Structure 1
Amino acid sequence: MGYLRLLRQRPILVLWSSAALSVLGDRLYGLAIMWVVYEATGSAVWMGIAAVVESLPYILIGTFGRGLIARFSSFGALGWLDAGRAVVACAVPLLWSPGQGGITVLLVLVLLLGTLGVLFDPNLGGLVPDLVRPDRVREVTALLDLTNRIAVIAGPGCVGLILMVVSEVQLFAIDGVTFIVSAAAMWWLRAHTHRVARAAAPGAVTAPARRAEPVAAWPVLRRHPDVAVAVGLHGIGFFVAAVSAVGLPTLLAVRLGQGAAGYGLALSAVGAGALAGNLLIGNLRAGRWLTVYCSAWTVTGLALIGYSTAPTLPVVLGVGFAAGLAAPAAAVTLRTKLAGFVPAQRLRLITVDQTVIRTAGTVGMLTLPVAVDAAPATTFAGAGLLLIAAAATAAATGRRVTAAAIMSSREPAGSQTS
């Protein structure tokens, strides 16, 4: 299996191990912030505010801070960012206190963690493809995606076991430990890349790694309209994802009379499907990337409709498994495509994609839960139809605009048509 061959390479093993631990830390963080805010305020509104505060840096810096993000495009700089996140996360239990003052301090720290995160995430995605040969980029992208899929299955159980020993607010400190491990991994990768550079040029003086120069996204997207279309579809996918994220418990209760056990089984089915889908997309040669990408989102849309009409819990589990299969196909396909760009363009496109999905996801979480509360089955069906229509439009538009861009690039300079 390709994953095992990759993990025999020490840099990939170090990267994957730290990423797996970081994903678990993210699970701890996500649970901790929601439970701590809810226990302090008793308000779902404040939980939503905390989620929006954490996303704000991704939206604002991702939109206006391309030069700032590019300043951290090295493993050494990423190590310092994770060291900073470790300090902030570990500070939460020390500074937390019930009441309005504690909530304010918590939101400030959440904002700071989001700021450090938006500087870290796209840069790591931009650096990883350079660790392997071009023909192994899909495999290493899928391998890192595997950490998310494993966390969906194992994360809730791990969190439950940890909460038997510590309180919710102490989960932040455990998250801080995962950042320390990640920082050490980033610094090790920095040293490794320097050793490789020296070995490739014996006797040469190793110059400091040059950071990627920031580039504008729009000229790149104009030359590659298929990527622009795919990023737009990604945003729509994250917008409608709010329906299943907040609406599945309601739908199961209203239509099938299911409680927490049924919801847990549904999430497990999605996780199992995602794990299987990752193993498929990471080890199979796909066809045209945009066709695969749009097809994956079409399956997700069909799954949303399936949820709305499922007559029994076993059918819901089958629909969830299909939805899980599609998720890694979309994620790995797009990230592999972006990895094919030169480093500066790759970093900017990853940042744009991250900004789009954060913005769309935030808008979805602020608007769609109201529709779910009013009519859960109708909202699921409507979200599914919207996603299917968007995927079909993206597939057709992507082929057309890409063909037009190719013809335009082949047209001799100065030629005119009568």
Structure 2
Amino acid sequence: MEHLRLLRRRPVLVLWLAQSLSVLGDRLYALAVMWVVYAATGSASLMGLVAVAESLPYIVLGTVGRRLVSRFSSYRALAWVDGARAAVAVALPFLWSPDARGIALLLAGVLLLGTLGALFDPNLGALVPDLVEPERVQQITGLLDLTGRIARIAGPASIGLLLLFVSEVQLFALNGATFAVSAVALRWLARRYATSAGEAAERPASRARSSVPAGPVLREHPRVGLAIGLHGVALFCSAVTAIGMPALLATRYGAGAAVYGLVTAAVGVGALLGNPLASNRRSGGWLTVYCGAWALQGAATACMGLVLDLPALLLLALLTGIVTPATSVTLRAHLGAFAPAERLRLMSVDQTIIRTGGTAGMLVLPFLVDASPRNAFVAGGLTVACSALASLIASSRLLRPDVAPAVPTAVGDRTMASE
């Protein structure tokens, strides 16, 4: 299996283990911050404010901060970012108090962690492809996607056990520990590049330090622009399933938390099954696969609002999980084939678009769910499916071929890829 072959390479293994812990810590943090806010205030609107505060730095930096983001395009710089995230997360339990001052400090911490995350995420995504040969970018992208899928299942499953020994606020400190481990691993990778290929190769993406504007790149590769736009629409509509599933189960089936857990598990199992398929796809036509996967997921979501029995709903949930990796892995692997400067900018634009779409969806679509969960699923699913088909049709009318330029492999990259 390609994932296992990649993990035999020490740099890939170190990064994968570190990011597995870091992503799991992020899941613990996301759950902890919501619990802490709700336990202290009993306000769902404040929970929503926290979610917006976490996404806001991604939107702002992705829109106007491209030069700042590009300054962190090295493993050494990202190690410092993760070190700062560890310090902030560990400090939060000591600063927290269940009053207005504590809420204000928590929101400030969320904003700071969001800012550091907005610097970290696109740069790590741009650095990862340089760990392997160009033909293996799809596989390593799928490997890290699998890390996120596992964390989404393991995070909620482990939090109940952890809360037997620590408080909700102390979960922030555990998250800080995972950031610290990630910082050490990134520092090791920085030294590895420096000692294996000289200081010039310490940063395989040092070529990306000069930021590039997004407009010319997207005009040169309009199909990428279509794909990123579709990603934003899909994340906007994903608020329907995130918020509306409990309401749909309660109103249509009279079901409760146990069935909701089954549906969530079905999506997770489907994603684990779909990841190897998406990671090892070798045929061309990336945009056809990408749009087709979103169209299928949208149709399945719409059908969730129409089916009348739970087994059919569970099958649809499994199907949405199976096709989800085909969307995330396909797009990120295609972006990973670009030259470092363009790669970083496109990944940053994609992140900005999906954060903006997701935040807008969380603010707008709950009103549609309140009016009719069934109709919300149908409308959201059909919007995604129609947008995917429209993007595919529009791409077929573009005359310019959209092929990522070949990226020459650096000396340091060859050294690490050969292990």
Corresponding residue of 1:321: 318
> In 2, Cα distance between the equivalents of 1:21 and 1:348?
26
> In 1, Cα distance between the equivalents of 2:154 and 2:35?
19
Paired AA for residue 354 in structure 1: Q
In the alignment, is residue 87 of structure 1 matched against residue 87 of structure 2?
yes
Paired AA for residue 4 in structure 2: L
Q: CA contact under 8 A between 1:230 and 1:290: conserved in structure 2?
A: yes
The structure with more radius of gyration: 1
CA deviations over 1:162-189 (Å, ceiling 9, x no partner): 1111111111000000000000111011
Q: For structure 1, which segment, 291-300 or 302-311, has the greater mean C-alpha deviation from structure 2 after superposition? A: 302-311
Aligned match for 2:271, one of 271, 274, 299: 274
Corresponding residue of 1:181: 181
Paired AA for residue 377 in structure 1: R
Corresponding residue of 1:264: 261
Corresponding residue of 2:48: 48
Query: 1:208 Cα deviation (Å)?
Result: 6.7
Instruction: Give unpaired runs (5+ residues) of structure 2.
Output: 403-419
> In 1, Cα distance between the equivalents of 2:378 and 2:333?
31
Aligned match for 1:213, one of 206, 210, 213: 210
Query: 1:155 Cα deviation (Å)?
Result: 2.0
Corresponding residue of 2:295: 298
> In 2, Cα distance between the equivalents of 1:154 and 1:25?
10
Q: CA contact under 8 A between 2:122 and 2:348: conserved in structure 1?
A: yes
> In 2, Cα distance between the equivalents of 1:287 and 1:71?
34
Paired AA for residue 238 in structure 2: A
Query: 1:195 Cα deviation (Å)?
Result: 2.3
Query: 1:206 Cα deviation (Å)?
Result: 5.0
Corresponding residue of 1:116: 116
Q: CA contact under 8 A between 1:57 and 1:111: conserved in structure 2?
A: yes
> In 2, Cα distance between the equivalents of 1:353 and 1:250?
30
Paired AA for residue 72 in structure 1: F
Matches within 5 A, 1:14-163: 14-163=14-163
Q: CA contact under 8 A between 1:70 and 1:123: conserved in structure 2?
A: yes
Q: CA contact under 8 A between 2:290 and 2:331: conserved in structure 1?
A: yes
> In 1, Cα distance between the equivalents of 2:292 and 2:200?
46
> In 2, Cα distance between the equivalents of 1:238 and 1:207?
37
Q: TM-score, normalised by structure 1?
A: 0.94
Q: CA contact under 8 A between 1:275 and 1:325: conserved in structure 2?
A: yes
Corresponding residue of 1:415: none
Distance 1:6 1:101, change over 3 A: same
Corresponding residue of 1:379: 376
Distance 1:179 1:6, change over 3 A: same
Corresponding residue of 1:409: none
Alignment length, in residue pairs?
399
Matches within 5 A, 1:323-342: 323-342=320-339
Q: CA contact under 8 A between 1:54 and 1:113: conserved in structure 2?
A: yes
Matched residue SS, 1:165: coil
CA deviations over 1:48-103 (Å, ceiling 9, x no partner): 00000111100001100000000000000000000000000001100000111110
Query: 1:196 Cα deviation (Å)?
Result: 2.5
CA deviations over 1:222-267 (Å, ceiling 9, x no partner): 0000000000000001000000001101101100111000000000
Paired AA for residue 276 in structure 2: L
Paired AA for residue 13 in structure 1: L
Corresponding residue of 2:241: 244
Q: CA contact under 8 A between 2:24 and 2:152: conserved in structure 1?
A: no
CA deviations over 1:135-160 (Å, ceiling 9, x no partner): 11000000000011112222221111
Query: 1:307 Cα deviation (Å)?
Result: 1.1
Instruction: Give unpaired runs (5+ residues) of structure 1.
Output: 199-204, 407-418
> In 2, Cα distance between the equivalents of 1:53 and 1:131?
33
Distance 1:270 1:286, change over 3 A: farther
> In 2, Cα distance between the equivalents of 1:39 and 1:343?
44
Aligned match for 2:367, one of 361, 365, 370: 370
> In 1, Cα distance between the equivalents of 2:155 and 2:52?
23
Corresponding residue of 1:348: 345
Matched residue SS, 1:67: helix
Matches within 5 A, 1:385-404: 385-401=382-398, 403-404=399-400
> In 1, Cα distance between the equivalents of 2:306 and 2:295?
17
Matched residue SS, 2:107: helix
Q: CA contact under 8 A between 1:226 and 1:399: conserved in structure 2?
A: no
> In 2, Cα distance between the equivalents of 1:34 and 1:117?
18
Q: CA contact under 8 A between 2:191 and 2:202: conserved in structure 1?
A: no
Matched residue SS, 2:209: coil
Distance 1:404 1:127, change over 3 A: closer
Overall identity of the aligned pairs, in %: 56
Q: CA contact under 8 A between 2:153 and 2:265: conserved in structure 1?
A: yes
Q: CA contact under 8 A between 1:223 and 1:405: conserved in structure 2?
A: no
Q: CA contact under 8 A between 1:29 and 1:171: conserved in structure 2?
A: yes
> In 1, Cα distance between the equivalents of 2:324 and 2:164?
32
> In 2, Cα distance between the equivalents of 1:311 and 1:140?
40
Distance 1:290 1:372, change over 3 A: same
In the alignment, is residue 229 of structure 1 matched against residue 229 of structure 2?
no
CA RMSD of aligned residues (A): 1.2
Q: TM-score, normalised by structure 2?
A: 0.93
Corresponding residue of 1:413: none
> In 2, Cα distance between the equivalents of 1:249 and 1:376?
9
